[in-house]
Structure 1
Amino acid sequence: MNLKTDATLDVVTLGEAMAMFVAGERGDLASATRFSKRAAGAELNVATGLARLGLRVGWVSRVGDDSFGRFICQQLDLEGIDRRQVTTDRRYPTGFQLKSSVDDGSDPQVEYFRKGSAASHLSTDDFNPDYFGAARHLHLSGVAAALSDSSLALVHHAASEMKAAGRSLSFDPNLRPSLWSSEGVMVERLNALAQHADWVLPGLAEGQILTGYRQPEAIADFYLAKGVKAVVIKTGSDGAWYKTAAGERGHVAGFPVSKVVDTVGAGDGFAVGVISALLEGKALPAAIRRGNKIGSLAIQAIGDSEGLPTRAALGDF
């Protein structure tokens, strides 16, 4: 894919990647005896999906000096994701998670072991202006913001610097209430971060929590009033609703899915579709249509990123 830009990367993102162990049989995690190992993380899912579509993606993180950290780096290499700014931190371990196996569309049980992880010690020291400046777009998520105060500081610094440099920014709130001290703190800090973004991509329930409004247009107006250029609100199987600073608004229907297998990663797949299409210069409704398509593919496969398509597999849909 030949994108016209002076930057050496199309997208840079940052966050925590973890080793994920998925149970080999359905049921309570306590009863599982066989697991398969994969890589996981909201921002990593987006990086993976964008790389599979042929975009040049950079990843900024920290991993431990352990087998999980080496595994994450191997997965980044397999997906063609640039990891020059992934630091091996010898003081702290790589986080991991356990995930139950589902194939009926229900939400899987997930247990995280990430407290004190290497990635939770991300800080402004991990901001390399030359590396970030080599990308034309920055994607951020509320997960990285929730890891620690130092990680939140890095996210804000990266957003401010990239915006000042004239780069575009996307933001998926990706709420993780358990990582915050309170819902009020979560709302305040994520809304402060969202106002840096050009494109804000909340789910409807997330938007309701963050803004206090119930209707999609009111949620969109909340962020547009803060200088955001476009707000796209995911409304589940119904598709997505959008509004722009120019006053354009509308609904883009979702893609019917005969069998939902695993809901985890649907929002990340949606972000992959929207971001990739907008960076290619497509109109917002067409970008949302691609987001809906990739989101529908993501929920038809077991795993967080297994359903994310290559460019050839996506085709013209």
Structure 2
Amino acid sequence: MSTPAAPEVLVLGRCGVDVYPLQTGVGLEDVETFGKFLGGSAANVAVAAARLGRRPALVSGVGDDPFGRFVRRSLRQLGVDDSRVATDADHLTPVTFCEVFPPDRFPIWFYRRPTTPDLQLDASALDLAAVTGADLLWVTLTGLSEEPSRTAHHTALAARAAAAGPRRHTVLDLDHRADFWPADGGVEAARTQAQRALAHATVAVGNREECWVATGEDDADAAADALLALGVDLAVVKQGPRGVLGATRSERVVVPATPVAVVNGLGAGDAFGGSLVDGLLADLPLAELLARCNAAGAIVASRLECATAMPTAEEIAAHVAAHADMTTGRERDRA
């Protein structure tokens, strides 16, 4: 039997169901109608990359339940290979609820206790040929929050770093959810795991708070410097309304944010991530790459859902063109 070809993009991490209110500005106790959507940061990034023409596969887990079947079906419909998503007979597919108070308040509740199928990923079940053969590997910090997923993620990162051949893109999404980390470890536990993973990553991406969790630095430039010192080739620091900073050892660019009427900000970071995947694989110049990532995030922030709201390449290009006077990256003078 022939070995299947490695996916172009391999994403490790969480998937589940987002249950979002169809009324905005209303607390969950008063919401009367909800919409059900594919969710989970890793799943959303995979969908965003697929929407841009990439060939992603997700490594995760779902329960043997109706929501698990919904997740699998949605992944396939949205262009993501689900063949490496395990079915866990012992744990339920997680559900996430949020409240929508535009423009900047989106409280979120994760129903993931005591654990979830995506955190039961075992190193022995990894397809290491896919891990080392994919053009880009995407992992998330939340996948390092609990065993056995933690060991599986570190195993994948180490195998990829040790693989022969040119250094390929390995992205650590600094996605941090405090609820996922044990109360007795908290930020320090997350920082320890992030820094261990960063030694094997080529790219790190996160907002300022997430970069602080990983490095102890919340100034954008200082956080980028710290991430580069920890081993990555590219540090991407999202700064919300202040735009995004991208830094390598030879280049530093700031791309401003573009204005948007925010409906739900929760999927914007995952849309940014999917565009980052596409831009890295296309070897785009840093300023162009970040402008497209910003545009993708802005588009999704203007929509209610996450996975099914991910923009096409044409939509991103149109947004960048419409805000061309704002999206030109500026070299950061460090002198």
Q: 2:149: which partner in 1? A: 151
Q: 2:316: which partner in 1? A: 314
* Structure 1 residues 81 and 306, CA gap change in structure 2 (3 angstroms): closer
Q: 1:256: which partner in 2? A: 259
> Any idea what SS the aligned residue of 1:39 has?
strand
Decide whether the 8 Å contact of 1:133 with 1:162 is kept in 2.
Answer: yes
The letter of the residue matching 1:314 is: I
1:188 equivalent to 2:188? Answer no
Cα offset, 1:213, TM superposition: 2.3
Once residues 315 and 218 of structure 1 are traced to their aligned partners in structure 2, the CA distance between those partners, rounded to angstroms, is: 31
* Structure 1 residues 143 and 209, CA gap change in structure 2 (3 angstroms): closer
Q: 2:225: which partner in 1? A: 221
Match for residue 237 of structure 1 among 236, 241, 244 = 241
Decide whether the 8 Å contact of 2:136 with 2:277 is kept in 1.
Answer: no
Aligned residues: percent identity? Answer: 27
The letter of the residue matching 2:251 is: E
Q: 1:278: which partner in 2? A: 280
Decide whether the 8 Å contact of 2:16 with 2:93 is kept in 1.
Answer: yes
> Any idea what SS the aligned residue of 1:25 has?
coil
Cα offset, 1:305, TM superposition: 2.8
Q: 1:169: which partner in 2? A: 170
Q: Deviations over 1:105-149 (max 9, x none)?
A: 132232211122222211212311233234111011112222x22
Match for residue 199 of structure 1 among 196, 203, 208 = 203
Once residues 16 and 39 of structure 2 are traced to their aligned partners in structure 1, the CA distance between those partners, rounded to angstroms, is: 5
* Structure 1 residues 315 and 213, CA gap change in structure 2 (3 angstroms): closer
Match for residue 302 of structure 1 among 301, 304, 321 = 304
Cα offset, 1:40, TM superposition: 0.6
Q: 1:3: which partner in 2? A: none
Cα offset, 1:178, TM superposition: 1.5
Cα offset, 1:163, TM superposition: 2.0
The letter of the residue matching 2:177 is: R
Q: Deviations over 1:56-98 (max 9, x none)?
A: 0011111111101100001011111111111112222111122
Decide whether the 8 Å contact of 2:292 with 2:316 is kept in 1.
Answer: no
> Any idea what SS the aligned residue of 1:84 has?
coil
Q: 2:104: which partner in 1? A: 106
The letter of the residue matching 2:205 is: L
Unaligned 5+ segments in structure 1 are: 1-6
> Any idea what SS the aligned residue of 2:32 has?
coil
1:36 equivalent to 2:35? Answer yes
1:18 equivalent to 2:22? Answer no
Q: 1:137: which partner in 2? A: 136
TM-score (norm 2): 0.87
Q: 1:209: which partner in 2? A: 213
Cα offset, 1:170, TM superposition: 0.9
> Any idea what SS the aligned residue of 2:272 has?
helix
Q: Deviations over 1:220-246 (max 9, x none)?
A: 11121122101111111221112212x
Q: 2:95: which partner in 1? A: 96
> Any idea what SS the aligned residue of 1:156 has?
helix
RMSD between aligned alpha carbons? Answer: 1.8
Once residues 216 and 197 of structure 2 are traced to their aligned partners in structure 1, the CA distance between those partners, rounded to angstroms, is: 17
The letter of the residue matching 1:111 is: W
Q: 2:56: which partner in 1? A: 57
Once residues 208 and 134 of structure 1 are traced to their aligned partners in structure 2, the CA distance between those partners, rounded to angstroms, is: 32
Once residues 220 and 78 of structure 2 are traced to their aligned partners in structure 1, the CA distance between those partners, rounded to angstroms, is: 35
Once residues 304 and 138 of structure 2 are traced to their aligned partners in structure 1, the CA distance between those partners, rounded to angstroms, is: 25
Cα offset, 1:215, TM superposition: 2.3
Q: Deviations over 1:27-66 (max 9, x none)?
A: 1112223221111101111001000001000111111111
Cα offset, 1:156, TM superposition: 0.9
Unaligned 5+ segments in structure 2 are: 321-335
> Any idea what SS the aligned residue of 1:82 has?
coil
Q: 2:326: which partner in 1? A: none
Cα offset, 1:313, TM superposition: 2.9
* Structure 1 residues 303 and 133, CA gap change in structure 2 (3 angstroms): same
Q: 2:75: which partner in 1? A: 76
Off by >6 Å, runs of 4+ in structure 1: none
Once residues 305 and 84 of structure 1 are traced to their aligned partners in structure 2, the CA distance between those partners, rounded to angstroms, is: 19
Q: Deviations over 1:244-276 (max 9, x none)?
A: 12x21121122222x111110222121222221
Once residues 77 and 306 of structure 1 are traced to their aligned partners in structure 2, the CA distance between those partners, rounded to angstroms, is: 12
Select between 148-157 and 20-29 the one with higher mean Cα deviation: 20-29
Once residues 8 and 18 of structure 1 are traced to their aligned partners in structure 2, the CA distance between those partners, rounded to angstroms, is: 24
Count of residue pairs brought into register by the alignment: 308
Cα offset, 1:8, TM superposition: 4.3
